[in-house]
Amino acid sequence: MQDKLEQKEQEYKELNNKLSDPAIIADQKQYAKLARAHCELEKIVNKIKKRRVLCSDISDASSLLKEEKDVEMRQYLESELAENKDKLAALDEELESLMLPKDPDDDKDIIVEIRAGAGGNEAALFAADLYRMYSRYCERQGYKVEPMSSSSIGIGGLKEVIFEVIGHGAYRHFKYESGVHRVQRIPVTESGGRIHTSTITVAVLPEVEEVEVEIDPNDLQIDVFRSSGPGGQSVNTTDSAVRVTHKPTSIVVSCQDEKSQLQNKVKALKILRARLYEQMLEEQQSEQSEARRVQVGTGDRSEKIRTYNFPQNRITDHRIGFSSHNLEAVLDGQLDEFIKTLSEADKKARLESKST
């Protein structure tokens, strides 16, 4: 433990030096990256300093206790010693948590894909509800939502919607949303009052730079076609919609929401890059089975993660057995309770795995 703490202090000193380097100050992107790392390390270093004071107090009290003969003074020293040892144990636990390996994608912007699964029109209607839920949550967080692609049905549902979330820490907040979301309710299209069960899949992809995932232009097949709205209605009279096929992986991305063919192509390539990055991570994680075992559902989009039960006003997250009877508020974007609980459960699982 002591070696790790000293290493963190050394890293902090090195970052201080780098942040005063004129060459780094001139590179805004590099400076911002190092400044964020400095901020994270500062939290750890401040606790290390606090720990050092506690250790000194414990050592002093222990030394005095060996020599002290007065009964009252001994009782005082024993009480102080016990209290400081408890504080040290709690602080060490905090430090262990802070020094867990950080997900390198946590601070990134993201691309979210929502698709209607089983349930026909009702699934599409709930896909639209989830899109609104995430959009409202982003408003509360101060994140920007940028639509990228969508396919709608006439009654207000969405067969598919892909959107970008721009904001520091977006992936950290959204990464537990990937998977199958199940809804149980009486559809507005149901005249008999029967409860239906439908499913929606959500994929959360960290956005990546071109340097992180290189795409060979020779591996791409790019087709253009005319954009169309619901029911095949023509949206514009030019071939502005773009379909990009990545031939080595057979991944296909289509974008038609923008009026410009170039804008649609840029968005399609951004989505393709994110999907290729996700595929690369999945391959790495399959090789690191232990790391994947302790994850609290942050990747497998076939995993049923949550049920929204309208008759009982209940939302249950199946990964951690957590339920809330606050359905309306959650669908209005109040997701903090679920995100916090999932994050804490994930941290706890990784700490337990580290100690075994």
pLDDT digits 0-9 by tens, 251-288: 999 888 788 888 899 899 999 999 998 888 877 766 55
Quick one: 181 and 229 in the same domain? no
Number of domains into which the chain is organized: 3
In the chain, % of residues over pLDDT 90: 53
Quick one: 203 and 299 in the same domain? yes
Quick: pLDDT tens for 118-147. Answer: 888 899 999 999 999 999 999 999 999 999
Quick check: 115 and 128 in contact, CB under 8 A? Answer: no
Quick one: 247 and 334 in the same domain? no
- How far, CA to CA in Å, does 339 sit from each of 21, 172, 206? 38, 9, 17
Quick one: 178 and 53 in the same domain? no
Q: Is residue 173 part of a domain?
A: yes
d(CA 180, CA 278) in angstroms, rounded, equals 17
d(CA 131, CA 129) in angstroms, rounded, equals 5
Strand, coil or helix: 155? coil
Q: What CATH number has the domain bearing residue 264?
A: 3.30.160.20
Contacts of 336 (CB under 8 A, 6+ apart): none
Quick: pLDDT tens for 334-356. Answer: 999 999 999 999 988 888 776 65
d(CA 97, CA 345) in angstroms, rounded, equals 12
Instruction: Please calculate the CA angle 90-96-102 and round it to the nearest 5 degrees.
Output: 140
Quick: pLDDT tens for 143-155. Answer: 999 998 888 887 8
pLDDT of residue 208: 84
Q: Is 45 exposed, middle or buried (0-12, 13-18, 19+ CB in 10 A)?
A: middle
Quick one: 8 and 142 in the same domain? no
User: Which of these three, 284, 302, 327, is where a domain ends?
Assistant: 284
Q: Is residue 103 part of a domain?
A: no
Question: What's the domain range around 339?
Answer: 110-211+291-352
Please say if the pLDDT value at position 215 is more than 80.
Answer: yes
pLDDT of residue 103: 82
Banded pLDDT at 232 (limits 50, 70, 90): very low
- Which 3-state string (H, E, C) describes 53-66? HHHHHHHHHHHHHH
pTM of the model: 0.74
- How far, CA to CA in Å, does 81 sit from each of 5, 40, 56, 64, 177? 23, 31, 11, 11, 45
Please say if the pLDDT value at position 299 is more than 60.
Answer: no
Quick one: 155 and 275 in the same domain? no
Banded pLDDT at 233 (limits 50, 70, 90): very low
